Amino acid sequence: MSLSAPPALPATVSKQDSLLHRAFVARELGIVVALVALLAVTTAKNSRFLETQSIQDLLLGASILVILAIGQTCVVITKNVDLSVGSVLGLVAFAVGKFFVTWPHANLLVALVIGLGMGLACGVVNGALIAVAKVPALVITLGTLYVFRGLDYSWASGQQINAADMPASFLRLGTRTLLGVPVLAIVAVVVLVAAGIVLRSYRSGRELYAIGSDATAARLSGIPVSRRVFAAFAVSGALAGLAGVMYAARFGTIDASAGNGIELQVVAAAVVGGVAIVGGSGSVWGAALGALLLTTIGSSLSVLQITPFWQQAINGALILAAIGLDRLLALRLASSLRGGRPHGA
């Protein structure tokens, strides 16, 4: 039996893919330009802002947010959202701290496995309720946000784990560098590259985009929608667990409020980085750039002596601008495919 070649994609589909690729590459380049401009303005105000130690602190601050934004991207491109990542981070960070308080000479890899395992378990709970029970992700993850945080508060019972209670070898991971680059930043880059390759080059990754574009059409074409959505939430939970381990190593002092509110920054990083909140488009590269931009904004405001209130206001403005830009890109794409201008644009 001879195998026939797969049918060629319609010209319209190829054109759409090309236009989408160019649009989101331009979006990511725009973030780079904004980041460079922000660095230039801040450095003009304080020349020490780009010293080696300052850059290392900036990368360390962004590393945890980048890890969380990668997991969030996997979820958002399926037209869902995971609001529980901050609570998962806090629960895992406290668990790792308690582990080292009880077994101060334990192997660091055991703590990593515990963190990944707990995060994965939380992600599995989210994924099962959403993919199997068909309950909206916003509702489920808002509920598990409080459930996981409540478990954390109940476990901690007001206790705080101090850096002095943690092994020095573990805490050094939060400050150690390799060729001048923080180890935590290297971990974030490795995860970023792996996720980028899977989403771009593997069938399971591409199917996430198909689900976010049109779940019904994806199901009719044979894509296991429920299984893929379940996997996306499991990955998000596992990466939140990894971020919890990194948080414990980075800060050392941990209580039940660790990671409180960070989920909003994570969603902002993904959206600002070009991951469409309506699903079906975006990349982990853009989400990582969005995380770096938001982290840099936070550092720059303190250098520029601007009240922290403006950080939240700027983050909100960036989200609104990103959603508006997504709408504009969609109109331009539709116009290009029709060969004309969008009505009323």
Mean pLDDT within 16-35: 63
Q: Which range in 26-30, 155-159, 164-168, 241-245 is most confidently predicted, on average pLDDT?
A: 241-245
CATH of 23-330, one of 1.10.3470, 2.60.40, 1.10.260, 1.10.12: 1.10.3470
Q: Where are the alpha helices (DSSP H) in the chain?
A: 11-45, 52-76, 85-102, 108-127, 137-156, 168-171, 183-201, 203-213, 215-220, 225-251, 262-272, 284-303, 309-338
Q: Judge whether residue 3 has pLDDT over 60.
A: no
Q: Judge whether residue 7 has pLDDT over 50.
A: no
What is the distance between the terminal CA atoms of the chain, rounded to a whole angstrom? 53
Mean pLDDT for the chain overall: 82
Instruction: Give the confidence band of 159 by pLDDT, cuts at 50, 70, 90.
Output: confident
* Measured distance CA(17)–CA(253) in Å, rounded: 47
Q: Judge whether residue 105 has pLDDT over 90.
A: no
Residue 327 in tokens: 């709408």
Instruction: Give the confidence band of 345 by pLDDT, cuts at 50, 70, 90.
Output: very low
Question: Widest CA span of the chain, in angstroms?
Answer: 73
pLDDT digits (tens, 9 = 90+) for 202-223: 898 899 999 988 888 888 888 8
Of the given ranges (11-25, 53-67, 274-288), which has the lowest mean pLDDT? 11-25
Mean pLDDT within 102-130: 91
- The domain segmentation of the chain, as residue ranges, is 23-330
Output the pLDDT for position 11.
Answer: 44
